[in-house]
Structure 1
Amino acid sequence: MGSIDYASTAAPTPEGALERTHRRRAAAMAQPLISERVAAPLREVLIEAGQWRRVPAGQPLFEQGEHCETMWLLLEGSVCLGHHDSQGEWRQFRLAEAGEWMGCAACWLRESHNLRAVAAVDVLAVGMSRAQIDAWAAEDPAAWRAAMESVVDALAELQLQQTRQAVRRESLDALGRVSEWLLDMWRRQGSTVRFIQRKKYVASQLAITPETFSRCLRQLEEEQCISGAGYELQILAPDLLRQKARPRCEDKAAAARAGA
């Protein structure tokens, strides 16, 4: 898999003790990366006993169809979540960013992953297995409950955000979807937007073809909303992008008010 797993289940031998010390040091260095929104008891368990993994860009954190044993918290980097269709084409579902949980539903239900998770850039993640979760629930129910509530809160917020995005996307044409995506990247990265994944994957996520995506970028460049080439763009006019990202229903309502 090309990743480093700092978790140790070895017997308490000198080698096992050394491995645990190494893992604790690695975890302590990554501790500031764990969001304060993660409940304190869960932060402590992740730091002390979590499965710490570094995954190089292009390598999977987990595979579609693989039985899920662990839920993962992404600490650094970005992960492409998607699947291959019947023709073998990659269909991107979304891009997970630092602070997001992955694999929770499959882990909780003891199911297989229905998506593949591939590191878009070098990734650091920390995981907790279902066996660890069950043991913790039996040992300290109150702390476990507080921890799981923080996970559920994060997942609920993410699902709500995804639903809003999906509903909004339905109201946008291709140019509006690309404009909104550029605005989102501008908020995250600043005026210089760097692609961290192939353009056809972005197009798949926006439910448009790669050709349409390229055509929209050319149009936005011609209208001086953006500039650049290849995998780096400059956002020149965020306000113009906001206008183009307005849902069609808003344009019709504005036209109706103007006509009145």
Structure 2
Amino acid sequence: MTAPARLTQSRPPAISPSALDSVLGSPRLSELELHALAPISQSRQLPVGAAVFARGQAATHLVAVLSGVVGLGSAGADQQFQLERCVHGPAWLDLSSAWVGAGHAQDARVMQPASVLDLSLDGIRVLLARFPDMRERLLLGLAQTVQSLTGTTHDLMSKDAQKRLATWLLQRSPVQGDNVAMKERKRELAAQLAITPETLSRLLRQLMSAGLIEVKGYSIKLLNLAALQNLASG
């Protein structure tokens, strides 16, 4: 399999300060930090279906999604992509592989048109000596990623599909009467919940029949918050 090209443009497009802030977190980066990050940063505008990186490809950059949606999973020999989870920008896509000197653990494919940020690991190492506070930003990013994956793993191990769906709904809108906007396509959400799209549709119908939710297009209204909370924790 041919690995996706990493950096192909002769002159990288400028990265906006707000884009770097969105993934490196608060407080806002100083002008000195932004100036130092500019030469080691590059963004890529990628269409749906494009490969961000391939499983096993040498990881030399820290990779983030600035906007859009990128899926992580595995691509078979027939190029069919098995989606496992989606990353919505702004968020880190792979903050660990380059640090441990390993290849990317998964394939990454664009699910919705995306802007992807590459930060050179070699460049970051140099900057950490100049800007010690940047270590805290990267450690926080790693911690948030681990926390999210730990929570996902716990749910997969301890909750059935209906409980996982109820948990997902409550995480996105814990207020009764609120509408939950489904940013993901059903296939993407089903992959996150480790179920098939058909099972997801069936579970949504069951919750509707029970009077817990109301589905209109890509919006889900929570009708019975207490019942959903009991379902998620029961």
Scaled to the shorter chain, the TM-score interval is 0.7 to 0.9
Q: What is the distance in 2 between the residues matched to 1:115 and 1:93?
A: 10
Matched with 1:207 is 194
- 1:159 shift after superposition: 0.5
Aligned partner of 2:165 among 150, 156, 178: 178
Q: How does 1:95-114 map to 2 (within 5 A)?
A: 95-114=86-105
Q: How does 1:77-226 map to 2 (within 5 A)?
A: 77-84=68-75, 90-134=81-125, 136=126, 141-143=129-131, 145-186=132-173, 191-197=179-185, 199-226=186-213
Once the two structures are superposed, what CA deviation does each residue of 1:200-235 show, in whole Å capped at 9, x if it has no partner?
Answer: 443232233433222211101212323336x61322
Q: What is the letter of the counterpart of residue 215 of structure 1?
A: R
Structure 1 residues 49 and 59: CA distance shift in structure 2, 3 A:
same
Q: What is the letter of the counterpart of residue 235 of structure 1?
A: K
Matched with 1:254 is none
Once the two structures are superposed, what CA deviation does each residue of 1:134-172 show, in whole Å capped at 9, x if it has no partner?
Answer: 4x25xx7141x4323311221112212321332244332
Q: What is the letter of the counterpart of residue 106 of structure 1?
A: S
Q: What is the letter of the counterpart of residue 69 of structure 1?
A: T
User: If each structure's helix is expressed as a fraction of its own residues, which one has the higher value?
Assistant: 1
Q: What is the distance in 2 between the residues matched to 1:218 and 1:171?
A: 23
Structure 1 residues 142 and 33: CA distance shift in structure 2, 3 A:
closer
RMSD: 3.5
Matched with 2:26 is 36
Give 5+ residue unaligned stretches, structure 1: 9-18, 249-260
CA contact (8 A) 1:91 1:205 kept: no
Give 5+ residue unaligned stretches, structure 2: none
Partner-residue secondary structure (3-state), 1:102: strand
Larger radius of gyration: 1
Once the two structures are superposed, what CA deviation does each residue of 1:99-143 show, in whole Å capped at 9, x if it has no partner?
Answer: 422222221223211111222322222221233234x25xx7141
Matched with 1:251 is none
- TM (norm. structure 1) is 0.70
Aligned partner of 2:220 among 229, 234, 240: 234
Q: What is the letter of the counterpart of residue 150 of structure 1?
A: R
Structure 1 residues 163 and 44: CA distance shift in structure 2, 3 A:
farther
Partner-residue secondary structure (3-state), 1:120: strand
Q: How many residues align?
A: 226
